Structure 1
């Protein structure tokens, strides 16, 4: 610092000397020379001394030495004070440095190692969806909302909810529970598969979600949940067709064109849990051996059996068209009905009752041609059915490739089925996902329709019926096969389509019923 100050003083002194020298060496009068130039002083008329301004009497002489020295001293004084000014005040506190956002630097791409792998898109986790539906019309593929819903149909009831009591409690306890909470009991049922009483209760006016949540803390309650809605998985029927055998390409595709007469599903009980079956249709005469309705006193105006009749005809039709397993014993469990909005719909409460009844009647196969949201009560019922040796087959859904596998098809104990056409191409509106197990014909399928006619229908409901019928043939031929054996047999016999191995579009592949029936053990 001293060395720097000395250098500044030297500079100031040199400026001072230069200033003094420049002032004292200037020419004093006209005619003198400065360097090589002659100074010319302009001549002005002389003014008498008496007329001159008084201030000129005090004007300093032309010698500028004094001001120059003063300027130099001032410069030196300022330079001498500068080091002191540069010292920080001892009371000064350094402020905290402001956060500086690091500059954006794009990630460097990894070095290429040949063909890039296909990027797997991760889907956000789906929030449990209380409603399940079967679309009556073909829909374009689109992204699913956070709650699983089909089209614009509601996903759960706005007038009722479900409470499941803990195992072993009696019906009298259920009545006491409803009375304690001042709830209107619409209906209750004892689900034998779970040994639990299930209550359908009306939403009281002004009830909040936290009020229902408080019910789950009651020592008598196993769970309280929305009363989820479910809808059939089939497209609208096309114009009625004459029952020509050439319209049933599915039988040839599955390898069921010619079978021994002994392999026909005889002795096997298969429950169609749907909208009911129109037993008076010529194709289904004598097929239904037992039936159950969740609402026996329902008015005829709300009874719409079209979807259940179509599904049943694919499985067991005996006239006008050929069913996959013509001698199977069909159990009709009606859970669907027409609601006030004109939708054919079922709810969690009624579906659980139908499944429970079907297993109690000895059904070894459950055909579930509907789709919806995850439902803990329904999942528990289906798991209990599987433990008793009953296998469930369900439709993956008709909401398009952007939609995941719907429930109940997505449950581990259930076979999830997608649909293909005559050329083994994937059905355009089929849901896709890791839960898909099998594909089966489901596009332009001949079905029983109306009072005594036939039509072509498409959807994963139709594909599900083909798989259910094929399982009935397997159980007819090998009665001792359990749920795991059947799933393994069908997977190993399937015709691999799409990507090699199991994939989200076709699962293990398209069902090959003939190969599954005659596979070597």
Structure 2
């Protein structure tokens, strides 16, 4: 592919970093909230004179939560009128409430009236007998960083590093459903033709497609001029991120709705290319999703070496993915930590953007998306795999980079799609499609049998892009 693609140079910079006011002398965040950056310069917090440490804490809390909002588990037997009365008793206004089958509870979103401190309002509501738990409505941020387009196809290095061409001779993600909880996806983009099985707007908004959601979906499933991790996968496009103060953002309540929808609509993998603070309610939803046998993948975050762990990547049920560059170095902004499972390319990645355009972008968002794609290949090969088995195979077959053995930068190493897909099958098959001599050749495995059935989002049986599916099926080991 040449360098004549119509680049979209407007990717927002949603790189989370510590506010200067909350950075330690050594540059560390120390559990302070992340903030948004735009255009490479941080937006500091201006404080009035006379505010001390307590003022800093309140500003910090406001940065990572939606001001004056609480999310509460309330008695499911309450009618709307009774829920409104509950709110009034505690000086609140009920914004909305919804039953969440994933957790078996009803969750309400409430607004605090007047200028009461959030914690005082939380404790007051938590003391009501009709309420099981109360927490702030936390903010979540997408994990990408704007890049500058360069000559040629630097983004395509990811294919070789992950051994995706070899892996695609064994599986391409057919009959596997990946939920992408993100900003809006451009389902009309040629790279995503016949890929979006369903669209759900958890925000109830009317915003159009967004660069981040479209890019993440492309890293998973592109199949025209680009190639994603699983080009024949089905995607549930769940919009949970909308326009915020400095870019697309979401909240605990909206992400909970998105996770619930993904589970109810057959997701086998959930990609979460966003990050935020530790969140009890989302943590419970993540655990409940994993307990149903659904694979969860998340971006480690772009807050850098001094950041504390960000969530949901740091939840134990989630495969946390850090980012690498074309030379197997760590993406400078990537989070690190003992929770990192493995790494994947995330620097200068060429991906689809809305309106038929393309974007050059970086971030652990796209590292996570590649891993979700590889997991889809594994589940096509062996649908019986459980989340812990998917994790074990991915980490067990990863290519060790950095310091020998597991480390906090790359986890078990950089993912190897071919090795992971081969190890996923009870009877691995031999790849028969020629692969470029420039790619390293992993060892071949004995031949086997695997049957796949093509899919369509509308009940028909179209090809994934033009007649690519039919052409590729003819070259698959199963068809030989």
State if a TM-score over 0.5 links the two structures. yes
Taking the aligned partners of 2:31 and 2:287, their CA distance within structure 1 comes to: 26
Q: Could you say what secondary structure the match of 2:319 adopts?
A: strand
Per-residue Cα deviation, 1:423-447 (whole angstroms, up to 9, x for no partner): 1111111111111111111111111
Q: Which runs of 4+ in 1 moved over 6 A?
A: 138-141
Kindly indicate whether the alpha-carbon contact (under 8 Å) linking 1:368 and 1:393 is maintained by their aligned counterparts in 2: yes
Taking the aligned partners of 1:192 and 1:503, their CA distance within structure 2 comes to: 38
Taking the aligned partners of 2:70 and 2:317, their CA distance within structure 1 comes to: 26
1:136 equivalent in alignment to 2:8: no
- Match of 1:318? 223
Taking the aligned partners of 1:165 and 1:412, their CA distance within structure 2 comes to: 27
1:149 equivalent in alignment to 2:34: yes
Does the C-alpha gap of structure 1 residues 396 and 450 become closer, same or farther in structure 2, counting only changes over 3 Å?
A: same
Q: Which runs of 5+ in 2 are unaligned?
A: 1-11, 19-25, 37-41, 44-62, 427-480
1:263 equivalent in alignment to 2:197: no
Q: Could you say what secondary structure the match of 1:184 adopts?
A: strand
Structure index of larger Rg: 1
Q: Using the TM superposition, give the Cα deviation of residue 406 of structure 1 relative to its aligned residue in structure 2, in angstroms.
A: 0.8
Kindly indicate whether the alpha-carbon contact (under 8 Å) linking 1:178 and 1:184 is maintained by their aligned counterparts in 2: yes
Q: Using the TM superposition, give the Cα deviation of residue 206 of structure 1 relative to its aligned residue in structure 2, in angstroms.
A: 2.6
- Match of 1:120? none
Q: Which has the higher contact order (CA 8 A, sep 6+)?
A: 2
Kindly indicate whether the alpha-carbon contact (under 8 Å) linking 1:232 and 1:344 is maintained by their aligned counterparts in 2: yes
RMSD (Å), alpha carbons: 2.2
After TM superposition, the score normalised by the length of structure 1 is 0.69
Q: Using the TM superposition, give the Cα deviation of residue 149 of structure 1 relative to its aligned residue in structure 2, in angstroms.
A: 1.1
Q: 1:249 aligns with which of 154, 157, 175?
A: 157
1:211 equivalent in alignment to 2:116: no
Q: Using the TM superposition, give the Cα deviation of residue 462 of structure 1 relative to its aligned residue in structure 2, in angstroms.
A: 0.9
Q: Could you say what secondary structure the match of 2:283 adopts?
A: helix
Kindly indicate whether the alpha-carbon contact (under 8 Å) linking 1:306 and 1:450 is maintained by their aligned counterparts in 2: yes
Q: 1:238 aligns with which of 148, 152, 155?
A: 148
Q: Which runs of 5+ in 1 are unaligned?
A: 1-133
Kindly indicate whether the alpha-carbon contact (under 8 Å) linking 2:166 and 2:418 is maintained by their aligned counterparts in 1: no
Per-residue Cα deviation, 1:116-152 (whole angstroms, up to 9, x for no partner): xxxxxxxxxxxxxxxxxx9525969942154231346
Taking the aligned partners of 1:426 and 1:294, their CA distance within structure 2 comes to: 34
Kindly indicate whether the alpha-carbon contact (under 8 Å) linking 1:241 and 1:456 is maintained by their aligned counterparts in 2: no
Kindly indicate whether the alpha-carbon contact (under 8 Å) linking 1:394 and 1:416 is maintained by their aligned counterparts in 2: yes
Kindly indicate whether the alpha-carbon contact (under 8 Å) linking 2:30 and 2:308 is maintained by their aligned counterparts in 1: no
Alignment of 1:54-453 (within 5 A): 136-137=14-15, 142-151=27-36, 154-165=63-74, 168-172=76-80, 174-208=83-117, 209-239=119-149, 247-259=155-167, 261=169, 263-296=171-204, 298-300=205-207, 303=208, 305-339=210-244, 341-453=245-357
Kindly indicate whether the alpha-carbon contact (under 8 Å) linking 1:401 and 1:432 is maintained by their aligned counterparts in 2: yes
